[in-house]
Every structure is written in C-alpha cells, then in structure tokens.
C-alpha cells in the first residue's frame, strides 16, 4: 500500500496538480484517504523524498520541491527531450514573436548581413510548472516565418524542424558563461534580481553542410540545472 500512496502523489506532482512549494496532504489526511497506517504513509512519503520530489519538515509537513534538472552536453537534445528523460512535463510560455533587423552578433552566427530581417522569438521553458530557462531565439527568416505560426507553447523547435519540416539537424555550437539575472529575466524565471544564471549561446545547424538556421541566448536558472559532460582522453 505504500507504493499506492507514493504513486498517487507522484502522479499529482507530475501532472502539476501539486506545484513546487505546495504542501502535500498531511499524514492523517493520507491515512484516512487510503485507509492505511501511519507507518505505510511515512514509507510512501520517504520514497518520494528519496526521489527528490518532496522535502519533509518535522512539525510543518511535506512540500513539493522545485525540479533540479541534469542535462547532458555530449549530444544535441532539446529541452523537451531532456525533461521527458527525467520524467518531467515540459511546457513553454511564449513571450514575444516578431521580425527584426539582425543585430551584429546574430548576423555573425547566422551568416547573414547586419540588418537583414530575422524572426525573433522569446519563450520561458518550464518543467512541471517551474521556470527553468528564458530562451531568446533568432531564426533565419525563411524558416522562422513558418515556425512562428506553429503551436510554440507545446511544440519544441527541434521537433518542428525535424519532424514537421523534414530538415534534420547536424548539431549545435555552444558557448557557456556565468551571469546574473537582470530585472526582466529574474521576473520571468521567478528569481531575485542578481541571482546567478548560466548564459548559453547556441547556434543550431542543419545537416549535411552545417548551415546555421537558429541562434539563441539561453538564460538558465543556475540553481535548477546541472550540466554533465563526459570527455574521452
């Protein structure tokens, strides 16, 4: 029966019914609901705590933790793929879609002229309802004008490009550095201004000739993400 208690609460957390910071039902409430002993309830809660899904505070109760994401950098994956691999539900909030003249850094990454029209898309990426990253993205206009019409709340860029448009990706170049959240990024990621963030510049390229089609500034909440990379000597 402890597995039944654990599975029921796990599903409530996974589905977003219990969000990060929410208190889960108390031990007496769970005992009454499942008609089980306190020992059984505590074992189910202990399992969830071991899985990192809740934190238990004596005298206060059990609370849903914010997800900590561990992503790998030894192969190119998208945000949704990383979250699904961790058993988390990925969603996105679309903040902005517009066509703008390419700034110098964007033009350099996309190999186009400064001022050439590019499609600019801003999104907040969430895992189980918790903001993980703010993605500031620039597409070459030929693809971006199509991508901008898609359901960007539920469909990730990589799936749109590869599965809908039949344009396979060859890979991406990453540059990673440390940074601090400014006022806007802090608000979008539910951080305090000046909290640490990881700043990733990512240029995604199409196969087979590695033609750049997407350049992004990714602002990642440093307290919620760990990157792992294995290197061979």
Query: Based on the domain organization, do 184 and 214 belong to the same domain?
Result: yes
Number of domains, the chain: 2
199 vs 191, residue with greater confidence? 199
* Residue 127 domain flag: yes
Same domain, 192 and 205: yes
The reply to whether 122 and 224 lie within a common domain is yes
| Nearest residue to 116 via CA among 217, 219, 215, 218 | 215
| Residue 97 belongs to domain with CATH number | 3.40.1410.10
**120 phi and psi, to 5 degrees?**
-110, 125
Q: Which domain holds residue 29?
A: 2-64
Residues 104 and 216 in one domain: yes
Domain boundary among 64, 81, 114: 64
Instruction: List pLDDT tens digits, range 4-60.
Output: 999 999 888 877 788 888 899 999 999 999 999 999 999 999 888 876 678 888 888
Q: Which of 71-75, 125-129, 178-182: highest mean pLDDT?
A: 178-182
**Is the pLDDT confidence value at 79 over 90?**
no
Estimate the crossing angle of helix 38-50 against helix 27-34, to 10 degrees: 110
pLDDT in the model for residue 222: 86
Same domain, yes or no, for 184 and 132? yes
Task: Decide if pLDDT at 201 tops 80.
Answer: yes
Query: How much is the pTM?
Result: 0.72
Mean pLDDT of the chain: 89
| 141 within domain boundaries | yes
CATH of the domain at 48: 1.10.10.10
Residues 107 and 214 in one domain: yes
Question: What span, in angstroms and rounded, lies between the C-alpha atoms of 14 and 16?
Answer: 5
Q: Is residue 216 part of a domain?
A: yes
């Amino acid at each position: 029966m402890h597995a039944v208690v654990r599975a029921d609460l796990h599903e409530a957390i996974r589905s977003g019914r219990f969000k990060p910071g929410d208190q889960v039902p108390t031990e007496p409430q769970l005992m009454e609901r499942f008609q089980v002993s306190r020992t059984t309830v505590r074992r189910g809660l202990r399992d969830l705590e071991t899985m990192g899904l809740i934190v238990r505070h004596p005298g206060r109760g059990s609370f849903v933790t914010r997800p900590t994401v561990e992503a790998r950098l030894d192969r190119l994956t998208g945000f949704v793929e990383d979250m699904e691999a961790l058993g988390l539900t990925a969603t996105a909030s679309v903040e902005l879609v517009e066509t703008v003249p390419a700034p110098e850094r964007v033009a350099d990454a996309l190999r186009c002229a400064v001022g050439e029209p590019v499609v600019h898309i801003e999104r907040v990426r969430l895992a189980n309802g918790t903001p993980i990253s703010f993605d500031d993205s620039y597409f070459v206009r030929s693809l971006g004008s199509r991508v901008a019409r898609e359901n960007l709340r539920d469909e990730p860029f990589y799936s749109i490009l590869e599965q809908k448009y039949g344009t396979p990706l060859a890979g991406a170049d990453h540059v990673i550095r440390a940074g601090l959240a400014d006022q806007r990024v802090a608000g979008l990621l539910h951080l305090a201004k000046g909290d640490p963030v990881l700043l990733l510049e990512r240029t995604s390229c199409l196969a087979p000739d590695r033609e750049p089609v997407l350049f992004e500034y990714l602002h990642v909440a440093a307290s919620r993400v760990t990157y792992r990379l294995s290197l061979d000597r």
